[in-house]
């Protein structure tokens, strides 16, 4: 691929000057003796050999003579001889490339690039011109252009160790600069610019899983979750055991609502390399899967204005199933007369078997009775007693804490339970030191309180 350079009017003047020098050289009979090169002045310059289709003994010899003058540092003589060849045939691109090398030797890198481009206009895969153009652009600090030219040269002729080395070095340099620019764009919030930069880097390095993952994150932040998932899967395809790629896939599947696939990804991440992130993701998705399979009434608890006893039993039965199951082990199944057809029946039975909720007269549970703060305190205290068996030290702190209520005295039915619940940080007072035992409990409050109990049970277990 060739970078176009605006040559301007100087090209015409230079061509005219070259023609004059060529004429002078012809008139003088090319009298200067051709030097014998024993120690090349420019060993890295690639000789612009004459292709077989253009070669004659005379032309080939004159091209080599001009090159000999260049390699002993007689640049004017070299320029005149390359110009003489062009004076006879303006399309003789090896001589044009030779002039480019003369320009490189003089440090005239812009003119050199123009000469090499002129040669490449005639023969686009002419390796000496591609290499020379790469050297000229590199000297002019056009690293991407130089890399492109060297890559084209190496593709045309892989037997060029110096060019191979330069391609490797420049690819790393260009990639590093592009990566730094892309990260700066991300940090500045210019996500469209960053996305485009990553696309260019991936095109240059399609086997880099990390680039796909970083692009996936950019796409996710832009709301292109499906596209982000495709990039994360591409990264995982490059390395199926890359934990970071598996985690990214799991998070994106979770965001898209494909919970079972997300759980599978998090489970694989846990198997490959367990981390807090994989464990939290797996727990989160499993809870979401469980929640999705629960009755509609359960899923609506958080939004109700006033929670019921049945709501609380369901929350406890779902979120503290293991703790309640251990407590209920070996206990008789209670006889309940009013819960058989209730949506939370199975969890009501478990909470009663575990001893954290009680039944009233006639074995009635009253699942639709509104939950009051005093009732809630009794249930919380029952759960805390179970947690205390796992963490006696924490239980001792709760029971020795000094708690005062302005609206309840020690003789109140709910006083001890409320004291324990507040000391453990599960319940809070209302408006200072009031407990408000007859106050209603909203669904969102009930959910939050049960989650507090879950955290205590997890720490204790």
- Do 325 and 215 reside in the same domain of the chain? no
- Tell me if 186 is assigned to some domain: no
- Do 349 and 275 reside in the same domain of the chain? no
Tell me: the pLDDT tens digits for 214-242?
Answer: 999 999 999 999 999 999 999 999 999 89
- Do 60 and 132 reside in the same domain of the chain? yes
- Do 18 and 81 reside in the same domain of the chain? yes
Q: Would you give the DSSP letter of residue 362?
A: G
Domain that holds residue 15: 10-159
Q: Rounded CA gap, 228 and 315, in Å?
A: 36
Q: Which of 120, 139, 159 is the last residue of a domain?
A: 159
pLDDT at 31: 57
CB distance 380 to 426 below 8 Å: yes
Q: Rounded CA gap, 235 and 99, in Å?
A: 48
- Tell me if 2 is assigned to some domain: no
pLDDT at 53: 87
Q: Which of 248, 273, 292 is the last residue of a domain?
A: 292
pLDDT at 461: 74
Mean pLDDT for the stretch of residues 77-87: 96
Could you tell me which residues come within 8 angstroms of residue 322 by beta carbon, excluding any fewer than 6 positions away?
none
Tell me: the pLDDT tens digits for 119-152?
Answer: 999 999 999 999 999 999 999 999 999 999 999 9
Q: Rounded CA gap, 84 and 97, in Å?
A: 14
Tell me: the pLDDT tens digits for 447-457?
Answer: 999 999 999 99
Is 90 exceeded by the pLDDT of residue 10? no
- Tell me if 188 is assigned to some domain: no
- Do 339 and 262 reside in the same domain of the chain? no
CB distance 112 to 98 below 8 Å: no
User: In whole numbers, what is the pLDDT of the chain averaged over residues?
Assistant: 91
- Do 364 and 272 reside in the same domain of the chain? no
- Do 104 and 66 reside in the same domain of the chain? yes
Q: Rounded CA gap, 93 and 242, in Å?
A: 51
Q: Which of 260, 292, 324 is the last residue of a domain?
A: 292
pLDDT at 22: 47
- Tell me if 181 is assigned to some domain: no
- Do 101 and 125 reside in the same domain of the chain? yes
- Do 74 and 153 reside in the same domain of the chain? yes
- Tell me if 427 is assigned to some domain: yes
- Do 248 and 135 reside in the same domain of the chain? no
CB distance 32 to 63 below 8 Å: no
Tell me: the pLDDT tens digits for 259-302?
Answer: 999 999 999 999 999 999 999 999 999 989 988 889 999 999 99
pTM over 0.75: no
Is 70 exceeded by the pLDDT of residue 7? no
Got the DSSP string for 107-134?
A: T-HHHHHHHHHHHHHH-TT-HHHHHHHH
Q: Which tokens belong to 159?
A: 């037997």
Mean pLDDT for the stretch of residues 316-328: 94
Specify the 3-state DSSP secondary structure of 39.
coil
Give strand pairing partners of 430.
434
Q: Any idea what the CATH number is for the domain that residue 281 is in?
A: 1.25.40.10
- Do 245 and 278 reside in the same domain of the chain? yes
CB distance 420 to 385 below 8 Å: no
- Tell me if 173 is assigned to some domain: no
CB distance 369 to 341 below 8 Å: no
- Do 283 and 429 reside in the same domain of the chain? no
Our count of domains for the chain comes to 3
Q: Rounded CA gap, 435 and 202, in Å?
A: 62
């Amino acid at each position: 691929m060739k970078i176009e350079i605006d040559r301007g009017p100087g090209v015409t003047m230079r061509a005219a000057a070259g023609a004059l020098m060529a004429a002078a050289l012809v008139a003088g009979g090319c009298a200067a003796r051709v030097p014998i090169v024993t120690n090349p002045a420019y060993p890295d310059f690639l000789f612009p050999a004459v292709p077989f289709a253009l070669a004659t003994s005379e032309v080939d010899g004159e091209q080599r003579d001009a090159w000999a003058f260049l390699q002993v540092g007689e640049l004017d003589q070299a320029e005149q001889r390359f110009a003489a060849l062009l004076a006879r045939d303006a399309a003789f691109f090896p001589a044009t490339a030779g002039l480019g090398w003369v320009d490189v030797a003089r440090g005239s890198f812009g003119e050199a690039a123009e000469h090499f481009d002129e040669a490449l206009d005639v023969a686009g895969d002419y390796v000496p011109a591609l290499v020379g153009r790469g050297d000229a652009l590199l000297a002019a600090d056009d690293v991407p252009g130089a890399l492109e030219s060297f890559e084209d040269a190496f593709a045309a002729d892989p037997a060029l160790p110096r060019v191979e080395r330069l391609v490797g070095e420049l690819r790393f340099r260009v990639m590093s600069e592009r990566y730094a620019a892309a990260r700066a764009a991300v940090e500045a919030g210019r996500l469209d610019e960053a996305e485009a930069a990553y696309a260019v880097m991936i095109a240059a390095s399609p086997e880099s899983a990390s680039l796909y993952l970083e692009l996936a994150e950019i796409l996710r932040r832009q709301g292109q979750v499906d596209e982000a998932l495709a990039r994360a899967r591409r990264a995982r395809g490059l390395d199926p055991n890359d934990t970071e790629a598996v985690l990214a896939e799991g998070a994106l599947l979770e965001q898209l609502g494909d919970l079972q696939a997300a759980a599978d990804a998090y489970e694989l991440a846990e198997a490959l390399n367990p981390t807090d992130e994989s464990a939290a993701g797996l727990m989160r998705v499993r809870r979401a899967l469980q929640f999705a399979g629960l009755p509609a009434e359960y899923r609506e608890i958080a939004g109700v204005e006033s929670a019921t006893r049945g709501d609380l039993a369901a929350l406890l039965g779902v979120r503290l199933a293991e703790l309640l199951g251990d407590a209920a082990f070996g206990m008789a199944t209670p006889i309940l007369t009013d819960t058989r057809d209730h949506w939370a029946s199975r969890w009501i039975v478990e909470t009663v078997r575990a001893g954290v909720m009680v039944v009233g007269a006639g074995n009635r549970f009253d699942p639709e009775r509104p939950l009051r703060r005093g009732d809630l305190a009794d249930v919380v205290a029952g759960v805390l007693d179970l947690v205390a068996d796992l963490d006696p030290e924490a239980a001792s702190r709760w029971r020795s804490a000094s708690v005062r209520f302005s609206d309840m005295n020690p003789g109140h039915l709910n006083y001890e339970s409320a004291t324990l619940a507040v000391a453990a940080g599960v319940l809070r007072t209302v408006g200072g030191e009031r407990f408000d035992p007859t106050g209603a409990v909203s669904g969102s409050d009930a959910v939050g309180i049960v989650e507090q109990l879950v955290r205590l049970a997890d720490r204790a277990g």
